[in-house]
Chain A
């Protein structure tokens, strides 16, 4: 009888515990739902539509016609696409090296030294990041102008007339010229992230290293670099992805020219979808670009994981 009473008393307790557990396990999903709905509406649904579009021939106006996987077949043998993709890869490699190293150097200089006015310099170096990319492109359009641009005027002023040239009109120079303009904005971003990471490193580690006789290089290699590895990974990933998405600078300054010397995949996608009105093919190019970015990101994270495990 006593057991029955005890059981009767435990049942509400069990029900209450189960309710708590259910609330704990299930209720978070209710909070996720709004964000999930937004995600589905603004990412998953457009993505599905994009894949659907890639299977059709459509000029954006007249009724579309089913085309199967022919756009994908065509993409595989489209020399212009592969050339544009190779430019994006070159851009990515340069982007992972130059603005990242520059940003890191500046961050170390501004964080680890006791130089006067470091806040001022942080602001100055970060300033280009604040401008819209089209504004930056217009600034560099002026800098590169062959007649009155800052570079050529400067070269002429110091007697180096023979070096003055049309920077954006030379098929060998145009891509590096565009990359420099892009880096001018991007190194500010890498610098700020590195500064935040460096500032978070425990100063006691450096003090201990100094006591042990470690020089600056050893401190960098054995303390600073391992401590900011998370930030470095983020920066490399973000930089790599953004270098695949580079559009504004190229579109405003050269539209991929001269010829296809500075053509990159996003500009080619726009040209295909809107200028040539091959919306289906443009969608195919967009999907290919997405696959490359996701593929690179996964590969990079896997490699980083492997490296971390063996570290």
Chain B
């Protein structure tokens, strides 16, 4: 055997050894999978940062994160769970409807005892937990992670140029929109082509027109409440009135959510009625400062409950996980003060109750926190019954398109409520 042959033989042996030994070395590494709803780059980067931090604190642990858009998550997650697959931990959108059904089907780990042991019940409002776990009374399968609020984002530069003050009443608000129209500025951008942003405008008026009991009653699919009342009619008429007056972008039905946001970010419109999930973009992308105020009340006599202010996404553990202990540790980390401070600093309205609130990272977050301090919770209607949600989106497009009347809209909604929500499939 010459020297070359010996070298080849040794090299081959070394490679074989590496192939055999490598898996043994990797046996210590555990990969925890985490799925979440939210495909905005900033949200993905934030989750990656927090997951990396957890992994850094747990040698030998990798956290593999996967982001989904809202619709995709709701389509993919049930299929994965049904096949005994899916992530170890998930951040589930649409609390009651999605989480509740996963729990009823046995796909989610019950967290009731863990919540007490880990002190989560001290840090997360029981009312929020009860709402999102409404399909499994007395049992906790998900912990609300983030609060969202819907209100009015406004361009502070345009308001200053036009000498406009923040509105205290609905009349003030309409006077502001009249002044903007006179100045040739479209008051509010709405992504009505995607339908749900238009529903948010309507929901703001609904929430300021009736007591919170009506909203929660409908959210709980209580047959004692109706959607064809004079209050619903007044909110619907006001929505149509705003559309016809030109307060809402006349092109809203052909403008999508992203385009409507861009109109606001580019300074082409003065305001955008939307949810705090766009706050990161609005705080960082425009060249002007953005402010926020809650939608003024249609009925000023009522206690103010901001529409859409509600606990939203939930943390859950997949019952098929093979990394249960690690999943519990991860969910504990995500729900703990360290991760929650990161989320707050990034501009999210965390559901976590701090002993002392950290200072807002942006003036916009300060505005939202301020608005939250004097308006109460006002859950979105339609969240628990997707048929009602879709019907509202559809009929609102028809309303502002001039195809149906406010009376027809509320009649259709009531019909869908009776047919699909009170007797769910």
Contacts and interface: CB of A to CB of B under 8 A. Distances in A.
A202 interface: no
B219 to A, nearest CB: 17
A167 B254 CA distance: 7
Interface stretch (A91-99, A105-113, A144-152, A295-303): A144-152
A259 B193 contact: no
Contact of B252 (A60, A169, A274, A275): A169
Given A147-B259, A166-B251, A171-B401, A61 B105 contact: yes
Given A61-B102, A259-B401, A146 B394 contact: no
Contacts of B82: 60-61
B270 to A, nearest CB: 15
Interface stretch (A3-11, A13-21, A241-249, A250-258): A250-258
A146 B268 CA distance: 13
A259 B386 contact: no
Interface string A266-278: 0000010011111
B394 A147 contact: no
B253 A275 contact: no
B387 A258 contact: no
Given A61-B81, A169-B193, A274-B74, A259 B255 contact: no
B156 interface: no
A13 to B, nearest CB: 60
B403 A259 contact: yes
Residue in A144, A274, A275 with the greatest tally of chain B CB atoms within 10 Å: A275
Contacts of B395: 259
A109 to B, nearest CB: 35
A62 interface: yes
Nearest to A80: B394
A170 B397 CA distance: 10
B414 to A, nearest CB: 17
B195 interface: yes
> Which range holds the interface residue count of chain B?
35 or more
A59 B101 CA distance: 9
A61 B401 contact: no
A57 interface: yes
B259 A258 contact: no
Nearest to B81: A61
A195 interface: no
Contact of B394 (A60, A260, A281): A260
Interface string A157-172: 0000000011111110
Interface string B245-267: 00000111111100100010000
Contacts of B268: 147
A165 B74 CA distance: 34
Contacts of A145: 254-255, 259
B254 A57 contact: no
B78 interface: yes
B139 interface: no
Residue in A57, A63, A258, A275 with the greatest tally of chain B CB atoms within 10 Å: A258
Contacts of A171: 398, 401, 403
B100 to A, nearest CB: 9
Contacts of B420: 276
Contacts of A255: 194-195
Interface string A205-225: 000000000000000000000
A305 B258 CA distance: 52
A169 B255 contact: yes
Contacts of A62: 101, 104-105
Contact of A57 (B192, B193, B425): B425
B55 to A, nearest CB: 31
Nearest to A152: B251
Given A171-B403, A257-B397, A61 B78 contact: yes
A79 to B, nearest CB: 11
B251 A146 contact: yes
Interface in B388-411: 390, 394-395, 397-398, 401, 403-404
B325 interface: no
A80 to B, nearest CB: 9
Given A60-B78, A169-B255, 12 more contacts: A145-B254, A146-B255, A147-B263, A166-B250, A166-B255, A169-B193, A171-B401, A257-B397, A258-B193, A258-B401, A277-B425, A278-B425
Interface of B: 71, 74-75, 78-79, 81-82, 101-102, 104-105, 107, 192-195, 250-256, 259, 263, 268, 386-387, 390, 394-395, 397-398, 401, 403-404, 420, 425
20 contacts: A61-B81, A61-B101, A61-B104, A61-B107, A62-B105, A147-B255, A165-B254, A167-B254, A169-B192, A169-B252, A169-B255, A169-B401, A254-B193, A255-B194, A274-B71, A275-B71, A275-B386, A275-B390, A276-B390, A278-B425
